[in-house]
Structures are given as structure tokens and as C-alpha cells.
Structure 1
Amino acid sequence: MSGRVRFQMKSLLRRHIWQWLTDTAVQLGGCSLQVKPIVAYIGVILIPVVVFSLYTFHQLYENTIHDITVQNQYVLDTELAQIHSNMEIMERTAQLAISDRNVLHYLTEEREISSDELVQFNLNVFPNLQHLLYSNPNIENIRLYTSNPQAHEIWPMIFNESRLPKTSWLTTAQHQQGRIWWDIYKGPKSLLQGQAGQESEAVRYMALLREIQASGGKHAGLVETSMRLELFSPKVFGTPQREYAWQMFILNGKNSISNGGKSVSSTNITADSFQSGPIPIPLSDVHHLLQSRVQGQGGVFDFTYGNKSYLGLYRYIEGLDAYLLNVVALDGPLGDLRQKRNAMLLIISMLILLMSVISYTLHALILKQLHTLRESMKKVQQEGDFQLRIPVYGRGEVAELALYFRSLLGRINVLIAEAVHKQAAAQEAELQGLKHQIDSHFLYNTLENLKMMAEIERQYPLSDALTSLGSMMRYNLQWSGPCVALRDEIRHIQHYVAIMNIRHDNQIELDIRLSSTFMELEMLKMSLQPVVENAIKHGWSALQGPLRITIEAYAKEDIVELRIQDNGVGISAERKNAIMAGLVQTEIHSREHGMSGGIGLFNVHRRLSMQYGVGYGIKLDSIPGQSTTVTLILPRRHITGGTKHDNQAADCG
């Protein structure tokens, strides 16, 4: 499985787990209070315990696999060492057999050997060859095959090459130019044809064949060294034991291995030993596993076959160009481990189930008072019975909650009574307000009559002053809400300045520099008059000349700065700082800070802060002897409701 596919599977698993947790949390939210703690206990206890158990058994699994791997690697390396040792013995024996000059001379001499030479060879040279065979008990045969017709056969070690059967592998071995050829055959004890009593007895051998060359590289024969397979590799070709959980094979990547003149048939190596072995996997599948998993000189891999787990360990066999494979069945040790894990999880689940039952029963007793309180609340909500007396049991938290709820019902009854009294008082106030409204209409009518008399007497300035005064009084006395449009405040300021100009001989000039867009902005009622009034009373000296009051507005993102600037005497830095400090204090110190009576700058600042929040209010700047600027910081909001962004608002200066 590739890393990308594994990553996608893990991501899909995480999404499913997260979705399951989310659905579970939603369903848990609708459960009763008696069930939620039980579910919480199960989650708090079961999940960590299960995770810890799975982690612990995973570590045991890894340790078990590691122990099995180490143990079977030792068995594999031991068998590999024995195979190499036997191969070395067979190679050394074959080399010693043909390294004797007298033996080589006997096999390659083209003239007929005399009787004396033959006797001397039998007495002095041939016993050395026999000693090689008898000194190595694992060696089954040492045979020299010569193609020289002049050489006499000496049984059981020197034979004529014409006795060998005409097989393809023998023909190939005869032309290896002195290199070693390995092969395994199943047949009679001897490769020779026609030996009596040998044809019917079948034996498995590992045979080493090496070409004998005469002078000039001419083919002179073969040397054969053979060893029984059960001695060559006892664990591969020996009698298999059913109680063993492993089985060894000698395999390679092809049906026949060939490399550098060395060959071995892997089909004949493992067929018989596998059929009676304890690992129920066909040989072809074992061969395919090795081909698909082998990497380098050795390694370990795991695989599953027939719903059973196996472990494969392999080592490269130098000289044979083959691999020694050990297949280990894991069902035995891992099956016991899985049974222990499942038993542990079952015990944990039963304990948690028992604890849940006990907890549920205890919670039912504990939450009895809470259920009573819930039913009482439901009765109050459905029937509106605020005179209900809730029973209180014990002194626990739920009992305290019931006591508080009973007190709350009593408080609600008191508030209901107060609301009735306030409603009656409001009706009385409404009657009083109607009376004052009648009085104000009488005052408006009186001012209107005076205005008409002034116009009849051609006292037009007086008529205009009376008009402005009436408008101001109507604006002051009619409150439909705390906020008005800036247009209404400007009109009120114009009336106020008009009246003040009668007193000051028209020396006060009001310069309004506001676009129509700003005229629709929302602001608090009666928030401009205290600023203009301070400019006239405290910021202007008649000796300085006419007073000019300029009103401008600037838009900055979601706020509007409304600036009222005069060309009066200004204020000192100390007094300005004192006034600004007074704006943020919790108590009014108007006389100390030089503010006028009535609403004053402090009240305007406080009203703006309370209406719109922190950051809104008044900011004061002054240049002594030149000017004073009062800036009202307002939200950019239309009087029609909601916050509006005027992209066309610009500097009106």
C-alpha cells in the first residue's frame, strides 16, 4: 500500500470519527440531566481505558513480533552458516581431489599406462582419494569422470565419462571451463548408468560438478562431490515436525538460478519438503512472495494468506545464488494475545456497565428535588401562578436553587404590584402633561398675538425676535424622543443666535458649512445650544469685535466630527486641560471648571457617551487670543434609523 493511499485512508477515518463525535454531542444535548453524567463518566473512563489498553496491547504485539523475529533470525542464520560450511567442505574436497599432480596425470595421460604405473597409482595415490572421502562423513561421494580412453576405471571413485547419462545439465557442466556447477537431483545414489542395485533407490543429493581440464584448456573430465540434502540443509530438507510454527525453503526468483556458471533448480529443492510441512501455502505462492518482497541480501516481511498472518525472513546464499526463506506462522502467539486483549476489553465494558447502573440509580435519588423544581417552574410558566409554594428538601445546591426560585416568585409579585402603581402614576403624569400642553398652547397663542401687534406697529425686528422665541420654546417643550436630525438642531441654533443678536446689535455671525447629507445625520436634541451659548457668554469680548461662529462637519469612516469654532478670546492651556479632565469625571464641577449652568458641556459629553458608547463625546481645542473649537464626535447614522455610510460626504469647509 502506497503512502498516499495510506494517508487518504487515515484522513477518511479521522473525518468519520469527527462526524461521529459531533452527532453524538448533538444527541447528548437532548438527553436528560440524569443521563448526561452517565454518558460523561463513560466517555471519561471508557475512552482513556480503551485507548490505553489498545496502546498497551499494541506494544505487546510489537514486542512479540520483535521476539519472534529475533528468534527465527537466529535459526535462519544458524542454518545459513551450516549451508555455507557444507558448501565450503564440498568445494575444498573437490579441489583437493584434482589438485594432486599424479591424479591429474593419470586422468589426462594419452598413452597407455603400464602395469607397474597402475600398481604404483593404486598403492600410493588412490588411498589419498579414499582418505578424502572417509575423513568427511557428510560427503556421500567423490567421483572422478575422465574422457581419456587410456585411463582405467578404479571403483568406486574413477570412472569413464561415457557412463554418465546424456542430460542437459551434465552437458552444461562439462563445458564450464573449470568453474563450479551446483545442482540438486533426486535419483539413484550414483549418477552412473547401469550400476546394479542402484536404479530403484531414490536419494536426494546436492551435487558439486567441476570440469577437469588438461593442458591447453582441453576438456579432460568431471569431478563430482555430493552430499545428502538432509545433511546439506537439515532444517530445509530434513523431516518436518508438525509442532513447529515455521518452515524453511531454498528459493530464487526463477525456476532455475544461473549466475557465473553456478546453478540450482529451485523447483526440486522445495517441492517434497513443502508437501509434508506445517505451512499450508502452495509452493508457487511462496515463490511469488519471495520475488515480490526480496530486497538486498536479507530482510523481513509480513503477509497474510488464507486469513492467517505469517512472517517471512530471508537470507541470500552466496555461491548458490539462491535465497534461504523461513516462513513463520503468527496465529499461535498473536492469537493468544488477541484473546487476552478481547477478554480485558470485555471486563472493562462490564465494569463500566455496572458502574453506569449504580450511578444512574444514585443520580435519580439526588435529582429528585431538581425534578420537583422543574415541574414547579413548568406550572408557573403554563398557569402563571406566582403564588406557588415550592417545597424545599435538604440543604444541597438544588435545595438552594429551589429556595432562590421561591424568593424570585415573591420578588416578581412585589414588582407586579409596583408596576400597577407606576402605571397609575403614569396615567396621572399623562393628565398633567396634557394640562401643561394646554398651558403651552396658551403661551404660543400669546406670542403670536404679540408678533401680530409688532408687525402692525411696523416693529419688524421685534416681530422676528418673537418668531424665533416661539420656535425655540416649541422646540424645547416638544420632546418626541432623545434624538433629532442635525437640520432641526441647526434651525434651533439659528433662532437662538437671532434672539442674541437683538441684545448684541447683530455682532454675532453664524456660518453654517454643512451639506444636505450631513443635515440628515442623527444627534442628541439640545446638544449644540450649550456649546454656542458658551462661545457667546465666555468666549467673546465685545472689545474684540464681532463674533463669528462656524459649524463644519467631517466624515471619517463610521464617525462624524461636528466642529463649532469661534474667533473669541480662547482659553489657556491650564483651563482647557481642567475642562477636559472634568469631562471624564463622574461628578459635575461646573463652577470649578468655569462651565455654565444648565446642561453645560459636561452634560452634553455625558449624554453622548451614554447614548453612543465609549469614544463618542466632546473634544476641546483652543488657541489663546484667537479661537476655541469644540468638536462633537458622533456616529455616522441617519435619523431614519440604522447606520448609514455616506460615500458622498465630504469636507463642508
Structure 2
Amino acid sequence: MSITRKMILGYIILIFIPVLGFGYHYYTQTYGNLTRQFVESRQKILEQAYANMKSDFIRIQSVQRLLQYNPYVTDYLDGVYQTDADSVYALIRYIRPLYTQSLFANPEIESIVIYKMKNRVLPVTDLFRDQSLLNAQIEEKVEHLKPGKGLWIREEPEAAKPDLIYYQHIYNTQFTERIGLLEIRIRNSLIGNFYAAAGVEGNWHAFLLSPDGRPLNEGEAASALDEQTLHRLGQDDSAFFINRKSIVNGINIDELNVRVVVAGRAGEVFYSIKQRELILVTLIVLLLVGLSVAYYAMASTITKRILRLARFMRTLNNDNLRQHIIKPDKLDEKDEIGFLTATYNSMVQRVDELINNAHRAELRNKEAAYMVLQAQIKPHFLYNTLETIRMVAESNNDREAADISFWFGKLMRYSLSSKQDVTTLERELEMITFYLKIHKMRLQARLTYEIDVSVEAKHIACPRFILQPIVENSIVHGASAVLRPVHVRLQVEETPEEIRIRIEDNGPGIALDKLLAIQNQITNGSELRSEGEESRGIGIYNVSERIKSFFRGTSRLNLESRQGEGTCVTIIIDKGEAKNESIDRG
């Protein structure tokens, strides 16, 4: 998968999908909280409307108490008045004003009628009626009413705004006998006011449900509610609920033995809110799409340059190390990709140089191998020549010439023939002996030497030529620099912790400033600036570094000297790090 597709996929997985998911979750949570708060507020309004209607019920029911405790009404219904004239007088003088006052105080009341239960009571058509005119079903329902209890009846049970009728008995003054049945007819404005207070207007509809949850007017309910909501109304008696299509609030009206449901379509109720939310969601989606396009364009400008560089790198091989060509208008870019391209060009150039250098080095190695092959003939010729000189000297009884030829041949064979840089201390001491004998032959009485070895030198491994440069310094800067005899002493001894090789002479010594310079070079590796002691300092410094590198640990070289008295060089070998191993003696 290309880097561009990876960036797009990463953008979709890490940004696009999470943003949409979070937006959708946030929208649903916000919408859910908003709708729930809305439904709860409407439920409180519905409960307040019902509380107001209950107070209206109580106010209307108080008419019965007003009539019950009026002596003229009870006397009239109980047949106390003996003549019609007395009855008419009481009716006009005391009872009818009471009726008028009740109707005026309760505008919802359409009519007030009392059904008399005694025959001797004078009937008045609009106020008092004979009990025989009462509906038999109503009479059966009110038969079992207890004193102080009334009955509310819906005149049209299936109507959404039915007229209401209230029935309650009126008793004699001793409450021992029923003397009348009060009927109060209520206009449907009472239910209408309740609906208005509950917010039933516009897109909201009110329905009456039976105690078992069945709509009393199924046709009207079916036209306003979907089947899912109707089914839930029959199964769920919760105060309110909301689904994707409907918002439903309900409350039980115990006086009428019904449940009032106020419902509205969610889409119509939240139409304006949904319109604004739709616009907001559209803007977010458009913004996200715009940002995605901008991100893709920006990513493309970055990845295209990387892809071009990657395609170019795939074409490279040992025979094709050309630099990546950048357009002239892009050469001055200082961004990371430009830096990467410039670094890549430098790397390719360097690799090309290294390959060429390696090729040239390979040619030089082949040439050097050829030269080494040629040079192998020269040492053998030199050894044979020295051996011939020694044999001729011995045949002529020239012992000194024979010895010098023998010693020099050993030194040359030791110098040129060994294939490795490691030898034993025994062989190193042997070569020093030959070296001193040659110089003794040259300097005669001006040079004396002494070699004292008290260790098993053949078991101690060491680098080659760690003693020869020091002995050479004692002869060149000691015996050759003065006319008096110089004695060189080489002593090898050991302790439980270390081996000490001590080389000392009684030559002219080293001046103090030069001695400090050489000691500083040995200790710190600093550059020796004194030209007079440069060769001595470099030789001792090289020996010191070889000792430290080979023996490691606390192995070191110490230099001591006093001007006019001589010089002493001590090589200290840490026995814990010394290498005891077999060495090629060839």
C-alpha cells in the first residue's frame, strides 16, 4: 500500500469516522435530552391542568352542599309545605335565587335539576321533576351512592369533549331519608378549558382511553396516531413516553374513570428544531468534506515528492548512482523533504566515491600483493649472502667477521621473517643480546653491558621490538654521545603481582625540560615539541602504547633520568593480564 493511501486510510480511521461517530452520538444525546425535557415539561402542564379541573369539579360539587344545607330546599323536597301557595312562595322567595346564584357562580353549569322522590311535592318543570322522568340506567347507577358521594357521567362516552352530568342525592335534615336526586349538567367547555390548559392545540390531539387502555373513539385516534403508539398505549400505563414518531402525555381522571392522552407527531412538533439541526449537520458534513479534500491535497503535495524519490531510489544499483534531479524552482526549498533529497544526493555521491575508492584500493592491494611476492625473494637472498660471508670468514679464521655475520643474520631473520607481531620475552632478550654484541664489537671498551634475567622468559608472551628501541636509545644517546665508557644493564625480575624489565645506563642523561616533555607524552599522549629529543620520545612513546595495549591492566612504562648520571626505563607488566601462550618461533 502506497504512503498516500496509508495517509488517507489513517485520516478516515483516526479522524473522519471518530468525528462523525462523536457528532452522531452528541446529536442523539442532545436530541434525546431535549425531547425528554420537553415531554416532562408538557407532563407538568397536563398535571397542572388536571389540578385546575379538579378544583372546578369540587366547586361544582359544592352546589349540592349548598342545596343540602338550605332548609327551604329540604323542606320543599320533604313536603313540609301543606299548600301549593306556600310551596310557590318558598320557591320564588328562597329557592330560585339560590339556583340563579349557583348558575352565575359556575358558568360551566348548563342546568340544575332535582328529581323529587315524594308525590306531595309540587313539581316545577325547570327546577323540580318527578323521579319517574329519570333514565332507568342512571337510576340504577346512582342507587348505591352513599351520603356525601356523587357520580360523574359522560353524556356522550365516545366524544373527545363530552358533556358531563353530576348526580348526588339530597337527604332530609336528619339524613335518614333520600328526598331528591340532584342533576347538574355541565357544558363541554369544562373539558375544553382543560384541553386548552394542557396545550391541546395545533398539532396536538387529545383522546380518552378506557381503564383497559382502549381508545373510546378508535377512528379519531387511528387517524392521529400510528399503530406502534396505539399498541403501546394499550400495554404501557406510564405517564409519558416518546418514540420516533409520536410524543405522548397521559393522566388518569378518576372522577370520569378515563385516561386522557395528549399526543403529537414528533416530526411536526420538532419541525423547526429538526430544520436547524439538518442545516447544522449539513454544514458540518460539508466542512468535513472540505477539510478532507484540503488534507488530501496537502498530503499529495508531500507524498508525491517522497514517491518520486522512492521510485528513483529503486532504480539505483552499482552501475547507476546518479543524483536525484530536482526542478530548478524547487532547489531553494528548505523543508524536510528538500533536506532529505539533498542529504540523499550527498549520500549517493559519497557512496559513489567510496565504491571508486574501494575499486582503487582493490587494485592497489593486488599490486601490493604482487610487490610482496617479488619482495619475498630479497630476504632469502640476504640470508644466503650473510651465511656465505660467515662461512668464508670461518674458513679464513676470521672469528669476529663470522660472529657479526651470524648475529646480524639472526637479527634480520627475526625482523623480516616472522608472520605475527607477538613473540616471547626469551626471544626478545636473545635478539637484544645479538644487538648489544654487534654494538660491543663496534664500540669496544666504550660499551659494556649486563643482562640479568630471573624469570621464566620463555613462558611470557610480549610484542616484538619492545626492548630494542630502548636499548638503542641507551647506545645512541648514551655510549655514542660521550667519550667515557658507558655501561648498559638489563634486568628482568618478578613479584607476586608484576614483572619488571629495567634498562638503565650511566650515560649523559636527559635535560629536565626534555625529560618532562617525554614523560608528559608517555602519560597523556601529548605531542612532543622538542626537536632534539623527538626520535627518543617517539620511540619510547610507541613502546609505552604497545605495552598498554598488549598487556592492559596496570601495565605501563616509566622513564627516569638525571642529567650527567644516566637514564632508567622500567617496563612494568601486570601479571594478572600477561599473556602466557605458545608463540610461533619461526
TM-aligned CA deviation for residue 331 of structure 1: 0.8
Tell me: CA distance 1:219–1:398, structure 2 relative to 1, closer, same or farther (3 Å). same
Q: 1:106 aligns with which of 72, 76, 84?
A: 76
TM-aligned CA deviation for residue 378 of structure 1: 0.8
**Aligned position for 1:279:** 224
Q: Distance in 2 between matches of 1:43 and 1:302?
A: 34
Q: Distance in 2 between matches of 1:103 and 1:333?
A: 53
TM-aligned CA deviation for residue 156 of structure 1: 1.2
**Aligned position for 1:144:** 114
The reply to whether residue 32 of structure 1 matches residue 3 of structure 2 is yes
User: Is this contact kept in 2: 1:246–1:327, CA < 8 A?
Assistant: yes
1:594-605 alignment, distance < 5 Å: 597=573, 600-601=576-577
**Aligned position for 1:211:** 169
Q: Distance in 1 between matches of 2:575 and 2:355?
A: 35
1:116-131 alignment, distance < 5 Å: 116-131=85-100
1:381-530 alignment, distance < 5 Å: 381=317, 384-393=318-327, 394-396=331-333, 397-416=336-355, 421=361
Q: Distance in 1 between matches of 2:252 and 2:162?
A: 22
Q: Distance in 2 between matches of 1:151 and 1:380?
A: 127
User: Is this contact kept in 1: 2:203–2:264, CA < 8 A?
Assistant: yes
The reply to whether residue 231 of structure 1 matches residue 190 of structure 2 is yes
TM-aligned CA deviation for residue 176 of structure 1: 1.0
Q: Distance in 2 between matches of 1:248 and 1:538?
A: 112
* Secondary structure, counterpart of 1:149 in structure 2: coil
Q: Distance in 2 between matches of 1:602 and 1:248?
A: 110
User: Is this contact kept in 1: 2:43–2:240, CA < 8 A?
Assistant: no
TM-score by length of 1: 0.48
Tell me: CA distance 1:73–1:338, structure 2 relative to 1, closer, same or farther (3 Å). same
Tell me: CA distance 1:82–1:254, structure 2 relative to 1, closer, same or farther (3 Å). same
Unaligned runs of 5+ in 2: 377-421, 423-454, 460-493, 499-551, 558-570, 581-586
What letter is aligned with 1:209? Y
Q: Distance in 2 between matches of 1:246 and 1:602?
A: 106
**Aligned position for 1:65:** 35
TM-aligned CA deviation for residue 54 of structure 1: 4.6
* Secondary structure, counterpart of 2:3 in structure 1: coil
Tell me: CA distance 1:252–1:597, structure 2 relative to 1, closer, same or farther (3 Å). farther
User: Is this contact kept in 2: 1:379–1:385, CA < 8 A?
Assistant: no
Q: Distance in 2 between matches of 1:290 and 1:423?
A: 102
Q: Distance in 2 between matches of 1:591 and 1:387?
A: 50
Tell me: CA distance 1:57–1:104, structure 2 relative to 1, closer, same or farther (3 Å). same
**Aligned position for 1:156:** 126
What letter is aligned with 1:186? E
TM-aligned CA deviation for residue 303 of structure 1: 2.8
Q: Distance in 2 between matches of 1:42 and 1:285?
A: 40
Q: 2:270 aligns with which of 291, 313, 334?
A: 334
Tell me: CA distance 1:371–1:216, structure 2 relative to 1, closer, same or farther (3 Å). closer
Q: Distance in 1 between matches of 2:285 and 2:162?
A: 58
* Secondary structure, counterpart of 2:186 in structure 1: strand
TM-aligned CA deviation for residue 590 of structure 1: 3.8
Q: Distance in 2 between matches of 1:162 and 1:237?
A: 39
The reply to whether residue 83 of structure 1 matches residue 21 of structure 2 is no
Q: Distance in 2 between matches of 1:237 and 1:171?
A: 34
User: Is this contact kept in 1: 2:64–2:170, CA < 8 A?
Assistant: no
What letter is aligned with 1:589? T
Unaligned runs of 5+ in 1: 1-29, 188-202, 256-265, 436-476, 478-498, 504-534, 540-586, 605-653
User: Is this contact kept in 2: 1:245–1:278, CA < 8 A?
Assistant: no
What letter is aligned with 2:242? D
* Secondary structure, counterpart of 1:380 in structure 2: coil
Moved more, 64-73 or 220-229: 64-73
**Aligned position for 1:441:** none
Tell me: CA distance 1:54–1:336, structure 2 relative to 1, closer, same or farther (3 Å). farther
1:357-368 alignment, distance < 5 Å: 357=293, 360=296, 364=300
Tell me: CA distance 1:171–1:385, structure 2 relative to 1, closer, same or farther (3 Å). same
User: Is this contact kept in 2: 1:139–1:225, CA < 8 A?
Assistant: yes
Q: Distance in 2 between matches of 1:173 and 1:64?
A: 47
What number of residue pairs does the alignment pair up?
Answer: 392
**Aligned position for 1:3:** none
TM-aligned CA deviation for residue 91 of structure 1: 0.3
1:621-636 alignment, distance < 5 Å: none
TM-aligned CA deviation for residue 244 of structure 1: 0.5
What letter is aligned with 1:89? R
Q: Distance in 2 between matches of 1:333 and 1:216?
A: 54
Q: Distance in 2 between matches of 1:311 and 1:303?
A: 7
Tell me: CA distance 1:151–1:161, structure 2 relative to 1, closer, same or farther (3 Å). same
* Secondary structure, counterpart of 2:152 in structure 1: strand
1:168-247 alignment, distance < 5 Å: 169-178=138-147, 179-186=149-156, 204-214=162-172, 215=174, 217-234=176-193, 236=195, 244-247=202-205
Moved more, 170-179 or 403-412: 403-412
Tell me: CA distance 1:398–1:250, structure 2 relative to 1, closer, same or farther (3 Å). same
Tell me: CA distance 1:78–1:236, structure 2 relative to 1, closer, same or farther (3 Å). same
Q: Distance in 1 between matches of 2:142 and 2:119?
A: 20
Q: Distance in 2 between matches of 1:404 and 1:61?
A: 56
Deviations, residues 490-537 of structure 1 (Å, cap 9, x unaligned) = xxxxxxxxx99xx9xxxxxxxxxxxxxxxxxxxxxxxxxxxxxxx993
TM-aligned CA deviation for residue 159 of structure 1: 1.7
Tell me: CA distance 1:47–1:589, structure 2 relative to 1, closer, same or farther (3 Å). same
TM-aligned CA deviation for residue 161 of structure 1: 1.6
Tell me: CA distance 1:253–1:359, structure 2 relative to 1, closer, same or farther (3 Å). same
Q: Distance in 1 between matches of 2:291 and 2:81?
A: 103
Tell me: CA distance 1:253–1:341, structure 2 relative to 1, closer, same or farther (3 Å). same
1:308-347 alignment, distance < 5 Å: 308=245, 310-317=246-253, 319-320=255-256, 322-347=258-283
Tell me: CA distance 1:254–1:233, structure 2 relative to 1, closer, same or farther (3 Å). farther
Q: Distance in 2 between matches of 1:237 and 1:389?
A: 87
Q: 1:92 aligns with which of 62, 70, 81?
A: 62
* Secondary structure, counterpart of 2:2 in structure 1: coil
Largest Rg, 1 or 2: 2
What letter is aligned with 1:400? F
What letter is aligned with 2:243? F
* Secondary structure, counterpart of 2:136 in structure 1: coil
What letter is aligned with 1:206? L
What letter is aligned with 1:173? V
User: Is this contact kept in 1: 2:554–2:574, CA < 8 A?
Assistant: no
